[in-house]
Amino acid sequence: MTQEGFYVTGIALSQFVLGAESLGVDGKQILACCGLRDEHLNPTSRVPENQYEMLILQLALASKNDSFGADIGQQLMPPLYGSLMSLALSSPTLGEAFKNMSNYQALASGNCGGVDYIITDTGAKFSISMTHHNPVVRIHVAECVLTMFCSLATLVSAKKDLTPEAIYLEHSPYSEFAKRHFEKIVQCPVHWNHEETYMQLGKVLHAYPIHGHGEEALRIAREFAQAQLDNIQAQTSIIETIKWHTRELMQSRSPRRETVAERLGISTSTLDRRLKEAGMNWQELLDNLRVQLAIEYLSNQELSVSEIADKLGFSEIRAFQRRFKRWTGMTPSNYRKEILGTS
C-alpha cells in the first residue's frame, strides 16, 4: 500500500486539535495550514496520513512541549469517541473494554495503526503498532494512546490506583523532565528504548468489573460500531480511486475532473457529489495531493525547491513557495529545516 493510501479518522484528528487548543495552541489555525478543514474533524472523515503527521508536528512545535503527546492523551473526551466509548462502558470488565476497543480501533486510527489486546498467564498485554515513519510523530502518538488508555481505566473504574504493571516504549525520552512527567502520569515502571511499545496489565486490572454492564447494551454498541466502520470504508472507497487516477494524471499533465470522471465511467456531477459526501471539492482534492507530493519531494535532498515547483506544475518557484506556505504555514526551505531536520 502506498503512503497516500494510509489514513486516520476525524476522531484521531480531533483528539490532537482540540487537545492542543486546551493547552493554549491555536489548533484550528494549524489545521487550516495543513490543508484541512473543520469538516475533517467529523468522526467519519478520513484524513491522509501525510497531513495528519504534518499536523502533529506543527502542533508539537507550537506547544514547545516535550510531553505534548502525553498531555494530549490525558484529555480523554468521551463524547468524541462515540461508539468506541459505548463499547467500553458496556463491557463486563476493564479487560473486555480494552479488547472491544481494540477490535474497533480503526474507527479512530484508520489503517495507520493498530492495537492488540492479548491475554497472558499474568494478565494481559496491550500492544501498539503504527505505520508512521517520522520518529517525532511515533513518540507523540504512542505516548498519547498509552496515556489515554490509562485515563480510560481510571474513568471507568473510578480508581486512581488501578494502574498498569509496566509500560515499554521503543523510543527514548525527549528529556529528563519528559521522562519524569510521563512516569508520573502512568504511575508505573516505564522501560525506554525497548524493541516494541506495549503496556503490561495485571490480573486485577484485567478482571476489574465495570458497573452498569449489560449484554444488550454491548450488543447494540457493537452493531453501531460495525455500522460506523462500514460507513467509513464504503463512503470513501471511490474517493481513493479518484485520488489514484488524479495523482497518476499529475505525473505527466494537469489533471482535469472531466478526464477522471470519464475514466471512472461517471458524470462530473456524480464525481462532485462523491467528493462532497467525503467533505471536499475538486480543488481541495488537488491541493491535498499536491501538498502530499510536495512533502514527498522535499524529503528527497537531491531535488531543489525549483525542481519541485516545476514537477508540481508551477510556472515559477515563487508561486510554489507562496502556495506551500498557505498549505503548511512554512516556506519549503523552512519545512525542510524544521520538520525534516535537513537544509
CATH number, domain of 275, equals 1.10.10.60
Higher pLDDT: 148 or 238? It is: 148
pLDDT digits (tens, 9 = 90+) for 240-299: 778 878 877 776 667 889 988 988 888 999 999 988 887 788 988 888 888 878 887 887
Residue 265's contacts (CB-CB under 8 Å, 6 or more residues apart) are none
Decide if 343 is inside a domain: no
d(C-alpha 277, C-alpha 200), whole Å = 41
Decide if 182 is inside a domain: yes
Q: Is the pLDDT of residue 323 over 60?
A: yes
Q: Is the pLDDT of residue 3 over 50?
A: no
The set of cell numbers assigned to 316 is: 515559477
- What is the Cα gyration radius of the chain? 21
Query: Could you identify the residue written with the cell 477522471?
Result: 260
Residues 243 and 198 in one domain: no
d(C-alpha 315, C-alpha 178), whole Å = 46
Higher pLDDT: 17 or 246? It is: 17
d(C-alpha 175, C-alpha 298), whole Å = 29
End-to-end CA distance of the chain: 29
In 140-234, where do the E strands start and end? Answer: 166-168, 190-191, 197-202
Query: Could you identify the residue written with the cell 454498541?
Result: 221
Count CB neighbours of 10 within 10 A. Answer: 25
d(C-alpha 336, C-alpha 14), whole Å = 26
Higher pLDDT: 190 or 237? It is: 190
Mean pLDDT, residues 187-199: 94
Residues 151 and 211 in one domain: yes
The total number of structural domains in the chain stands at 2
pLDDT at 1: 37
Count CB neighbours of 203 within 10 A. Answer: 15
pLDDT band at residue 46 using 50, 70 and 90 as cut-offs? confident
Count Cα neighbours of 80 within 13 Å in the Cβ-side half-sphere.
17
pLDDT at 252: 60
Q: Tell me, what CATH number does 131's domain have?
A: 3.90.1520.10
Q: Which of 6-10, 248-252, 262-266, 324-328 has the highest mean pLDDT?
A: 6-10
Decide if 253 is inside a domain: yes
pLDDT at 237: 65
Residues 49 and 191 in one domain: yes
Least confident of 35-44, 139-148, 162-171, 209-218: 209-218
pLDDT band at residue 144 using 50, 70 and 90 as cut-offs? very high
DSSP bridge pairs for 228: none
Query: Could you identify the residue written with the cell 519545512?
Result: 335
Residues 126 and 77 in one domain: yes
| % of residues, the chain, pLDDT over 90 | 36
The residue among 83, 80, 56 whose CA lies nearest residue 68 is 56
Q: Is the pLDDT of residue 2 over 50?
A: no
pLDDT at 185: 93
Residues 7 and 133 in one domain: yes
Cβ contact 250:289 at 8 Å? yes
pLDDT digits (tens, 9 = 90+) for 57-67: 999 989 989 99
Question: Could you tell me the pTM of the whole model?
Answer: 0.68
Q: Is the pLDDT of residue 15 over 90?
A: yes
Mean pLDDT, residues 328-341: 78
Structural domain of residue 328, as residue ranges? 235-338
pLDDT averaged over every residue in the chain: 86
Residues 82 and 184 in one domain: yes
Residues 210 and 239 in one domain: no
Domain boundary residue, one of 159, 180, 215: 215
DSSP bridge pairs for 166: 200
Residues 201 and 243 in one domain: no
Residues 144 and 184 in one domain: yes
What is the secondary structure of 275-321 as a DSSP string?
A: HHHTT--HHHHHHHHHHHHHHHHHT-TTS-HHHHHHHTT-SSHHHHH
d(C-alpha 86, C-alpha 152), whole Å = 12
Decide if 226 is inside a domain: no
Residue 172's φ and ψ, nearest 5 degrees, are -95, 155
DSSP bridge pairs for 298: none
d(C-alpha 54, C-alpha 56), whole Å = 6
d(C-alpha 98, C-alpha 125), whole Å = 10
Residue 158's φ and ψ, nearest 5 degrees, are 60, 25
